[in-house]
Amino acid sequence: MANQLRIAQFQEESPSLESYWRSAILFGRNTSTYKFALARSLEDIAREGRSSATLEELAKPFSRHMCEHLAVAPKQATGRSGKFIDACAGFNAGTVRERELVDAAVSNGFAYVLDAYHNVNGAELPVRFFEASGRGRGRTVTITDDLFRVLEAAPSVGLEAEARWGLVEHAWEVGVSSALVSIAYDGDTGMFRAAEKGVRRRSLASARHALNGYQKGQCFYCYGKIELEGAKACDVDHFFPHVLAPALQEVNIDGVWNLVLACPECNRGEGGKFARVPAIEYLERLSKRNEFLISSHHPLREAIIAQTGATEDDRRSFLSRVDREAVNVLIHRWRAPTRGIAMF
């Protein structure tokens, strides 16, 4: 019940269309990656300026996205792969033709995902981003104005879906959730990467896009609007400054629990945070953010739990202890001017 309350609260604090679209991607347990492929395919159709597609037309981008991911991550479902994924693997291997691949997608790829897409945490979303009509191969998917509005207001949502997809793939690849403790943030590339022994080392997802959905496109500190790409791209900031690493050797200072997105002004601008400890109200905000990640069954949830505590009380105690130790070392606290309206 507590998890349900947190998920509902995340949606209701800012009942924007972007929040509802993100909730379909960010929340809920995954048994296959079809949801991510569908989200990317709907975006592809919408960005072409089309408002509807037959199942066969939708199957083409749907299959393409699945084949691209399957080429680098063989596990795309928790159970048996199924006829559609088998067809994708065959297409990648050159044993299945494109016509056969599309037919497999139409027959087996959309069996559940179209009907289940708008269901989040056991209930239907109050908005719909597409409607499916007809039956069987004659089904048509009609994109609603709400999805067009989302793509205009938050153009990065597709990359957020890609980031989540990559992390889910890795969670299934390593098999043991606790192995995700070893996922490392690479500051040079801005990516989360696999670091476990015996697991293929590869970049998994952009840290910016993986974290942005939970900050709703806002700076963690000032609530100002942030950009994910380009010269004014936001920073991936260590909430407790990285300079503390030698003093807090038992703490994984690079863990996702300690990473937030900050605008350049807050992180390193005039009067910025730099190597100071954030004001105490931000510690509550960090705790709340981490509980959202855990409640949403985020692929990194086990890493956060392993690094900060098994229960919410344990995790709050952990943050309080690190905060005390950080202040003892760095002395000064820092607070940002508010530049936007609180949305998370």
Question: Residue 261: which of 121, 149, 152, 163 has the closest Cα?
Answer: 163
Q: Are residues 46 and 106 in the same domain?
A: yes
List all residues 6 or more positions away from 225 whose beta carbon is below 8 Å from its beta carbon: 217, 218, 219, 340
Q: Are residues 310 and 253 in the same domain?
A: yes
| Residue 51: domain span | 2-153
pTM over 0.75: no
Is residue 164 a part of any domain in this protein? no
The rounded distance, in Å, linking the Cα atoms of 106 and 59 is 6
Is residue 183 a part of any domain in this protein? yes
Number of separate helices (H) and strands (E) present in the chain? 14, 12
Is residue 270 a part of any domain in this protein? yes
Structure tokens at 30: 């995954």
Domain end among 119, 153, 187: 153
Q: Are residues 324 and 219 in the same domain?
A: yes
Q: How many domains is the chain partitioned into structurally?
A: 2
Structure tokens at 139: 């089904």
Q: Are residues 99 and 203 in the same domain?
A: no
Is residue 256 a part of any domain in this protein? yes
Domain end among 153, 184, 216: 153
Structure tokens at 130: 């597409």
* Predicted local confidence at residue 175, as pLDDT: 55
How do the pLDDT tens digits run along the chain, 344 residues long? 455 555 444 444 445 788 788 878 866 556 788 999 999 999 999 999 999 999 999 999 999 999 999 998 888 887 777 899 999 999 999 999 999 999 999 999 998 899 889 887 667 888 999 999 988 778 899 999 999 999 998 888 888 888 888 877 866 765 544 344 455 666 767 766 665 544 444 555 677 887 887 788 899 999 999 988 888 889 989 999 988 888 888 888 888 899 999 999 999 988 899 989 999 999 999 999 999 888 876 667 777 888 899 999 999 999 999 999 998 888 889 999 999 888 77
Q: Are residues 140 and 187 in the same domain?
A: no
The rounded distance, in Å, linking the Cα atoms of 23 and 19 is 6
The rounded distance, in Å, linking the Cα atoms of 77 and 172 is 8
Is residue 265 a part of any domain in this protein? yes
* Predicted local confidence at residue 183, as pLDDT: 59
* Predicted local confidence at residue 102, as pLDDT: 95
DSSP strand pairing (130-133 vs 184-186): unpaired
Q: Are residues 125 and 206 in the same domain?
A: no
Q: How many CB atoms lie within 10 A of CB 175?
A: 9
**Where does residue 202 fall: left (phi above 0), alpha (psi -120 to 50 degrees), or beta otherwise?**
beta
Is residue 169 a part of any domain in this protein? no
Is residue 296 a part of any domain in this protein? yes
Is residue 168 a part of any domain in this protein? no
